[in-house]
Amino acid sequence: MTAVPVAARFGAAARRYEDHAPVQRITAERLADDIALLPLPRHPRILEIGCGTGLLTRALARRIGPADWTVTDISPGMLAAAQSRPPPPGTVRYRLLDGERPEGLPGGYDLICSSLAVQWFSDLNAGLGRLAALLAPGGRLAVATLAAGTFQEWRAAHREAGLSAATPAYPPLDAIRPGMGNLTGGVRGERLLHNHPDGLHFLKGLKGIGATSPAPGSKPLSPAGLRRVLAAFDRRGATVTYHLAYGMWKKTDQRPAGVFVTGTDTGIGKTLVSAILARAWNADYWKPVQTGVSEEPGDTDTVAQLAGLPPERLHLPAYVLQAPLSPWAAATLEDAVVDATSIVPPATQAPLIVEGAGGLYVPIDDTHMMIDLIARLDLPVVLAARSGLGTINHTLLSLEALRRRGIAVLGVIMSGPLSAGNKEAIERFGNVRVLAEIPPLSKVDAATVEALACGIPSLEDCLTELGGAPAVAG
């Protein structure tokens, strides 16, 4: 898609853009919600690509406050519309820019963001890679774009009329990967339905936002062809599906030093998974918060025995509590004080396996959940899940919660009776790799762990895939 026609179409629509942009407004608000969860520095340096009339700018300003803003768009008309609004708090500059080829920018941004603009890139992943190169170490790239399945009803109406739609082809979620190696993160999807009175209103809405550029090589419909398509579209109810992709990536200076093992629930097999990974990756083990020692041995001793780890490869918990409850509940019962912000990982020479307590939203103290600790430790996650009934829902919800926080997911390990259907569903709809399936075990000992560890992909391979190599699962 060439830049000049796109800029001209959007510029012509700038004056009344927001009258026709309910989907764009919803998407900007949801992307801003995700960004607000990130651990950005105070007064962050922000580059926005494709600001349009300023929907995302305003949504972000309400959530994060003062910043150093560079707000850009390819269309002079759109940029002027954004600039006519009250500026966001902090320092702000507006700049005409082709976001796919962002030349002349200084770089070092803490956040580069874009809502429903990068789908116009001629090469999405290459363009995202060029943007990621402008991030500061630890900076975040956060985008919302359109994914495969968008406008499926409009395409179906064309097929019914014996025609081909000129709608651009959008990528599947697992194909959206910035062309740059030192990134961690991923993409989550959302489906949004937009009802129209009829097909003419749908087309009027697209024209109203300037989104009328056809796919390269497409021919416009004849008047008779358009009438047939509109009739078929109206018979289908004039509803349009938007498949939205929210991508969140972090620029890293080096490979993560380990992984955080969490689960979709308590009693999900995190300790066994941790032992298998420690054995497979020759890693150290650390459980920051241990509860329930009044009823059973601590998980550190269990992992040491199962993985055959010597004492120097084990690291003591920051907190040990007696009751088999959440850390917050156990500490309250035992009149102890737990402070999640005081938990600091040990220095290690080997990769570090960190095991959480319970699931993502188990409270650690009065103000922090387990997911807050995961985000602060800044390690990719291996998610332990059951294989049976209910696992699809629990696993997909956990994956979405992690990705909304910008937490990279290395993969899922399922435990229980093998279920090819559940595995396929988790990989497909969760856009994640199932690293292993642990069947029911008659005996759990060091020999069992050794055998299971042999089937685990290497940590280097997992991190390489996480950093932007072609997807295996999906």
pLDDT tens, per residue, the chain with 474 residues: 455 556 665 656 567 777 778 999 999 999 999 999 998 999 999 999 999 999 999 999 999 999 999 999 999 999 999 999 999 999 999 999 999 999 999 999 999 999 999 999 999 999 999 999 999 999 999 999 999 999 999 999 999 999 998 888 899 998 998 987 688 888 999 999 999 999 998 888 888 777 766 677 777 888 999 999 999 999 989 999 999 999 999 998 766 689 999 999 888 899 999 999 999 999 999 999 999 988 777 899 999 999 999 999 999 999 999 999 999 999 999 999 999 999 999 989 899 999 999 899 999 999 999 999 999 998 999 999 999 989 999 999 999 999 988 899 999 999 999 999 999 999 999 989 999 999 999 999 999 999 999 999 999 888 877 764 333 222
391 token code pair:
């696992």
Q: Would you tell me how many other CB atoms lie within 10 Å of the CB of residue 304? A: 18
Contact in structure between 99 and 49 (CB atoms under 8 Å): yes
Q: Is residue 352 part of a domain?
A: yes
Let me know whether 36 and 156 are in one domain: yes
50 annotated among ligand-binding-site residues = no
440 token code pair:
């029911």
Residue 310 three-state SS: coil
Torsion sign, CA atoms 9, 11, 14, 18: positive
State the Cα–Cα distance between residues 343 and 365, nearest whole angstrom.
Answer: 12
Let me know whether 26 and 99 are in one domain: yes
Let me know whether 227 and 269 are in one domain: no
291 annotated among ligand-binding-site residues = yes
Q: Is residue 400 part of a domain?
A: yes
* Residues with Cβ within 8 Å of residue 37, at least 6 apart in sequence: 375, 404, 405, 406
Which residue range forms the structural domain that includes residue 356? 258-468
Let me know whether 174 and 311 are in one domain: no
Let me know whether 232 and 183 are in one domain: yes
Residue 432's alpha-carbon distances to 291, 382, 424, in angstroms, are 30, 10, 10
Residues noted as catalytic: 287
Q: How many domains does the chain have?
A: 2
State the Cα–Cα distance between residues 19 and 21, nearest whole angstrom.
Answer: 6
Let me know whether 460 and 413 are in one domain: yes
295 annotated among ligand-binding-site residues = no
State which amino acid sits at residue 144. A
**pTM summary value:** 0.80
Let me know whether 212 and 357 are in one domain: no
299 annotated among ligand-binding-site residues = yes
Q: From 251, 280, 306, give the residue that closes a domain.
A: 251
CATH of the domain at 22: 3.40.50.150
176 annotated among ligand-binding-site residues = no
Hey, what's the torsion of the CAs at 82, 84, 86, 91, to 10 degrees? Answer: 70
To the nearest 5 percent, what fractions of the chain are helix, strand and coil? 40, 20, 40
* Residues with Cβ within 8 Å of residue 337, at least 6 apart in sequence: 331
